[in-house]
């Protein structure tokens, strides 16, 4: 008398193999990690003014604050209406080739914390990109789209003697959560 066994081991193995292939294709996970990290870094550096160690990046000088806010001595003043007495423009250049032409108005706050943002060019230029020139399958990085902003970032880190664009420990925790969620979803 023979005992016959049927097994679905081939089907189970195929299912496991498919789940493992999802883990091997890390493109979705690394892209999610990079875009999330970019948003976290942009908020921390360009809104809150914090370095990677959680401390303030620095404080703007009084002279720079005049440029930042447009509060020059020759700025025009509103004389009528509910905003009477407030500055209405950024004044004009008084020396050099631009003498007499209006100064740019950046519409920035009077907060002196360093946020590495005057024209918003650096924060808008911070983006995710495929890891080039050394391409890693499913690899993404965070960087500036033009060399000038990269050089500005390096200059700021050298000037303030702080690591600014590295991930904080809490940002690394968020990356771990994304990775763990990706693995959990792939294996479920």
Angle, CA 31 vertex, CA 132 and CA 174 arms, to 5°? 120
Residue 109 belongs to what H/E stretch? Answer: none
- At 51-77, the pLDDT tens digits run 999 999 998 888 777 776 666 665 666
This prediction has a pTM of 0.71
Give pLDDT tens digits for 118-171. 778 898 999 988 765 556 666 788 888 889 999 999 999 999 999 999 999 999
Q: Which residue has the higher pLDDT, 60 or 107?
A: 60
C-alpha distances in angstroms, 5 versus 2, 8, 13, 19, 114?
10, 10, 17, 27, 72
pLDDT score recorded for residue 131 = 67
In this prediction, residue 42 carries a pLDDT of 94
Helix, coil or strand: residue 130: strand
165 contacts 153 by C-beta, under 8 angstroms: yes
pLDDT for res 148: 93
**Rounded percentage of the chain residues whose pLDDT exceeds 90:** 32
pLDDT of residue 88: 60
How many of the other CB atoms lie within 10 Å of CB of 165? 19
pLDDT value, residue 45: 94
Of 14 and 81, more confident: 14
The answer to whether the CB of 60 falls within 8 A of the CB of 114 is: yes
Give the mean model confidence (pLDDT) for residues 112-120.
Answer: 80
Can you tell me the distance from the alpha carbon of 101 to that of 89, in angstroms, rounded to the nearest whole number? 12
Question: Which of the residue ranges 6-15, 85-94, 97-106, 141-150 has the most confident prediction, judged by mean pLDDT?
Answer: 141-150
Listed in sequence order, the residues at least 6 apart from 27 whose beta carbon sits closer than 8 Å to its beta carbon are 137, 138
Query: What's the pLDDT score for residue 85?
Result: 65
3-class secondary-structure state, position 113: strand
The residues that bridge with 36 in the sheet, in sequence order, are none
Q: How sure is the predictor about 91, in pLDDT bands with cuts at 50, 70 and 90?
A: low
CA distance 90 to 70: 4
Q: Is the distance from CB of 140 to CB of 33 less than 8 angstroms?
A: yes
138 vs 30, more confident: 30
50, β-bridge pairs: 56
Question: How much is the average pLDDT of 19-46?
Answer: 85
Q: At what angle do helices 169-187 and 27-43 cross, to 10 degrees?
A: 160
């Amino acid at each position: 008398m023979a005992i016959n066994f049927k097994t679905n081991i081939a089907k189970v193995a195929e299912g496991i193999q498919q789940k493992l292939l999802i883990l091997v294709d890390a493109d979705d996970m690394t892209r999610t990690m990079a875009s999330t990290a970019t948003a976290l870094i942009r908020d921390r550096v360009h809104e809150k003014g914090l370095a990677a160690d959680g401390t303030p990046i620095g404080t703007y000088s009084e002279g720079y604050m005049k440029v930042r806010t447009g509060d020059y001595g020759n700025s025009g003043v509103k004389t009528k209406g509910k905003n009477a007495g407030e500055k209405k423009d950024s004044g004009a250049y008084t020396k050099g080739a631009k003498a007499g032409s209006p100064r740019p108005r950046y519409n920035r706050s009077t907060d002196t914390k360093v946020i590495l943002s005057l024209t918003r060019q650096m924060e808008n230029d911070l983006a995710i990109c495929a890891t080039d020139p050394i391409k890693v399958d499913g690899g993404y990085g965070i960087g500036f789209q033009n060399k000038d902003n990269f050089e500005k970032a390096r200059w700021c880190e050298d000037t303030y003697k702080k690591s600014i664009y590295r991930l904080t420990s809490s940002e690394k925790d968020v990356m771990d959560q994304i990775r763990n969620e990706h693995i959990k979803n792939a294996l479920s």
